[in-house]
Structure 1
Amino acid sequence: MEGRVFIELSKSARAVCPLCGHTIPKDIVRVGKETMAAGPFRTTRWHHPWCYAENFPETDFTKMDGFVALKTTDQTGLQNLKVSVDSKNSDKSGKNFVAPAAGISGSPVSKVTSVTEGPTSSPSEIKRFESSETSILYKGARLPVGWKSYSSVIIYEGDNVRPSEKIAAFDFDGTLVDTNVARHGADAWKLLYRSVPEKLAFFHHEGYKLVIFSNESNIDRWSNKRQAAIDSKLGRLKGLMELAKVPMQVFIACGKSNTNDIFRKPSTGMWHLLEQHFNAGRIIDKERSFYVGDAAGRKKDHSAADFEFAKTLGLKFLLPENVFTITTPNPLDSTQGRSFRLLRLSESVASSGSGGDDANLEESVEAQGYSLSLFCQGGYEEPSPLFKQNGGSRTGKCSLELKFDWIQSQIQIETLVIYTGAVVPVKTVLLLLE
């Protein structure tokens, strides 16, 4: 006669999993299955969760007694494990199997996972890493409750964070908050825009999961003051989350610049951690997700890391000023209802340097109260506006098809024409409305 099935942390190292024959160590997640005998007696057999899930396909960890009492990381890891086992069972070759996520206490080392190094590397250069146990310390420095470290990343996942197909991702410094490099400490910050809490709440209520991806090399650079660097950074993030009053997930890349750290932006390792291990197996819809950052490669920017990060992942890239200064409830819908006169410029006219329809385009857009700037493959090209008189000639001409995308508040241009008569094709050229 079968009894209940429940889950808990093991209290000793005496039990042996009957499915694999290995001992279950103390303080790791285990599954208990009761067998009812005649009379008042019952016995419990203990299993590794990965063994149990593989042998009992109908397993649903979330419905087991004791699941809600587990740590959030263990809950997430178990949900990822279930998704992985289901994938393995549906693919008899086993090629699609992903080993249990690092979040499960006591899980075996995951199989190697591929993560691209970033846009500074060639597409063929791929970094590989192995999942291992997370820690409540980072290189000897203690982390507050709820925070954990993995490799060179510090991660926060609050109890109220829920997985979602839609990700609203943000940089931190210079995007959500204003921080002065000359000041240190948990309180040395202020909102960059007063509307930040309101806009974050809006995205949360629209079903987006809010995620912060932040570089913070001071944590690794300040080896003698690492605890102070951690307390300062995490304190600022905690302050923002308390002010915004919405659940947020945080990934902090602590590696130094110029070290080829796979997690430091513009490398995409932090996103892959989210995608593979910290979204409960939910597949992310990149078409409905976006990333907001200030490092866009403009002359005033310290780098193009945010722009390259989003471009490599195929995410919509937005500037903070285009998200937090829009007065409409949804900044992504801010251009709905506007009328734009989009022209098809002939390549022959644009390349000839004789002017022509490009002037009409300039007048058409400027008549509606907009100035223009060019957003090229490697970041912003100054100066702005795009159509700037320069000794009687114009620079930065655009040609061919123009396509308006209201979601990004941008106009896409297929070809950039430089006025030396040369037509230079680029993968992505965006005309931003400022």
Structure 2
Amino acid sequence: MTKSRSEQFFEIAERLLPGGVNSPVRAFRSVGGIPRFIDRAAGSRIYDVDGREYIDYVGSWGPMILGHAHPQVQEAIRKAVERGTSYGAPTVQEIELARRIIEAFPSLEKIRMVSSGTEATMSAIRLARGCTGREKILKFEGCYHGHADSLLVKAGSGIATLGIPGSPGVPACLAELTITLPFNSVEAFRTAVDRYGKELACVIVEPVAGNMGVVEPLPGFLETLRELTRQAGILLIFDEVITGFRLTYGGYQNLCGIEPDLTCLGKIIGGGLPVGAFGGRRDLMDYLAPVGPVYQAGTLSGNPLAMAAGLATLDILSSQRADYDVLNHRTAELCAAMGRLFQAADIPVRINRAGSLFTLFFSDHDVVNYETASLSNTDRYALFFKGMLERGIYLAPSAFEAAFVSFAHSEKDLEETLSACAETIKTMKGGI
């Protein structure tokens, strides 16, 4: 049998790259099969090297809220390229993007640009430790905040997908400084603050978890985090790398009315180019060098290409703020229709949704934290994933990731997705 071009490229990639990929989940190991090598993308669609077309619900893991290759964003990048790709010096564009972001987030007075979400969370935690003089941090099981050493303890995303508890290479002394608790557990958090409050520099949390699959905060959870951290002098960090500009123009904090001390951003603010940012109150941010003692630097921070793409993206999103409600409603309708298809087939699922994010858990338990997420039937998800892929629907190759609906997804796209879902369910009946 003649091998597909993706199969041929993957064989070459495995000789050159660990696992054949540059980010572990892309290897398809938890769902089986060979990863598709993507040749191009436009709107809601991606196209692989074999010429196959897919409706894309990965969206580069979140940033493509406008769809792929949006003409306005592409033109902004083209103009930026003509002026040079990197200067390692200040630009007007980074000032303007910072201003736009600060205007959208009431809790932000100053921000610093970096090149990834991992850099943002790592730097925010260093800043919190520097400001407070404390060393311990607290995170929640299943929340993934990038691959910095202290943050891989009981992380979600690829760690959950690969079924490993953390990572070799993380010194035990660093792991000991990281306290992990169940997401959505007010009781566990109260106990931890009582025990460790004076040692904790910060609490970092995804206000809506997106890396164990989508899990919304239960009523009172974030409110309790804010109240108790403020009382104990602990800095509260919201990791809004996924949720920033995804659920509304701003962050989830705009919707819930809770202001953290520091916020981490990425993905959408770069319009598809590598970017991250962290920011917060002026007094905290002024602890950063060169005005303060906490050092952080980056050659490509605020690079002109990412700034141009981010500005163009926020320009468009700002002009269509009301459309977020439409996008969120259409995503809700898609999830409800999928749920009815599974119910009719007597296949237990829980579809968790927040705005235009959703995760389909093959479980008969409500998913409210990592423990309940881990009860999901990953073998059944792999069957569903393969069936949808064969029918031209590209979902995350992991049961513990979010699906992303973009403004580029049309009614026709959603109808085709539901049709593919119905056909896939037929093949799953009687399966695992």
Normalised to the residue count of structure 2, the TM-score between the two structures is 0.23
Looking at CA atoms only, which structure, 1 or 2, has the larger radius of gyration? 1
* Structure showing greater relative contact order (alpha-carbon pairs closer than 8 Å, 6 or more residues apart): 2
Give the structure with the higher percent helix.
2
Normalised to the residue count of structure 1, the TM-score between the two structures is 0.22
